[in-house]
Amino acid sequence: MTAIPFPAPPADSAEVVALRAEFRTFLDEQLKDRTPRQRSDNWYGYDRGFSRAMGQAGYLGMTWPKQYGGHERSAFERAVIVEECLAAGAPVGAHWIADRQSGPSILKFGTEAQKQAFLPRIAAGELSFGIGMSEPDSGSDLAATRTKAVKDGDVYRVTGTKVWTSFAHEADYVILFCRTSGTPADRHMGTSQLLIDLKNTPGLTIKPIIDLAGQHHFNEMHFEDAVVPADMLLGEEGQGWDQVMSELAFERSGPERFLSSIELMVQLIEVLKGRDSDAAQITVGRVTARLAVLRRLSRSVAGMLQEHQNANLQAAIVKDVGALFEQALPDIARELIDAEPDPRAAGAYASVLANIVHNSPSWSLRGGTREILRGIIARGLGTR
């Protein structure tokens, strides 16, 4: 079995400490009217006004070159901003995917024209992206993708269906993972990525998927001979698999993989204050210790990304262990507090608990299912 290293994360410099304090002041002002229930939406909260404020203050595109609207700060400094956003329950949905993975993919694989067209608008908080990967019947098995793009002169003609596309009804673009040659039997071969304009693509239909909580953030995208300009090809035709794996490293490595239910932990501790319960103290202590370990692992991944190291394996571990932690919190809370989850409750605890109970089952699906992640980890350990 091969050992998997998690290097010690960088220590907080004076600049990082100052940045964290400065950003907490920004969040205090921006989120002063946001309720605990709204904060529990975490990165499903969608507010273009908040995203524009983030962009204007220089908190988006932080690591990108200044010539593309970025700020040339470190990956670790960006991780600090992401962590503070999630801990505070900020409505980051309108810029979340674009800043985390679409922009970095365009910066890495895009043409100069694509970089000039997309990156400054993402950094300004003006351009919102979704993810065009999952398909019916294949889910997170991306190598089984059947959506096909056929080159026809200066356009691609796209046919197929994508599902679970967060905010496709609100966003401006997705990066579509598709097959430009061969069949699903070819697995990783013959795949490519296209930048899809969600507002102006003839042949594209977007339909809502309503989740268990009655909320609409997921969608189906149907492509019926949809016409996409050939200059919207991202990277090289046929190299989509390597590109999408690079994109997923950005998706799986952040603190969003263990902070989705943090508002429930905040409300639980608030309710437990003043109660003389050994069981509650022991349980909260154990949960806090697990949270501290996950934070340390996530900061290690941020340090690896800052040093331009391949963190795909470590990111998969953080995502898998983090989702287990997030999904366990509702049951832990219900063992300590005798209260039913109630989305209409006036009290913060019951309404936050209801929101987390309804949404947490999906957290081990997004960003790669548990089975996919554990396959990656097994290969990293040399046992598969």
Query: Residues with catalytic annotation?
Result: 251
Q: Residue holding tokens 């507002």?
A: 199
**Rounded CA separation 302/308 (Å):** 10
What phi-psi label fits residue 187: left (phi over 0), alpha (psi between -120 and 50 degrees) or beta? Answer: left
Give me the sign of the Cα torsion angle 36, 39, 41, 47: positive
Q: Residue holding tokens 């404020």?
A: 53
How many angstroms separate the Cα of 267 from the Cα of each of 59, 152, 210, 326, 363? 28, 56, 27, 15, 20
Bridge partners, residue 207, by sequence: 220
Q: Give DSSP secondary structure letters for 151-166.
A: EETTEEEEEEEE---T
**End-to-end Cα separation, the chain, in angstroms:** 10
Reduce the secondary structure of 287-306 to three states and give it as a string.
Answer: HHHHHHHHHHHHHHHHHHHH
How many angstroms separate the Cα of 378 from the Cα of each of 18, 117, 293, 304, 316? 40, 40, 21, 21, 11
**Rounded CA separation 356/37 (Å):** 10
Contacts of 67 (CB under 8 A, 6+ apart): none
H-run or E-run covering 380: helix 370-381
Phi, psi (deg, nearest 5) at residue 4: -110, 110
In 122-272, which ranges are E strands?
129-132, 148-152, 155-162, 173-179, 191-197, 204-210, 216-229, 233-234
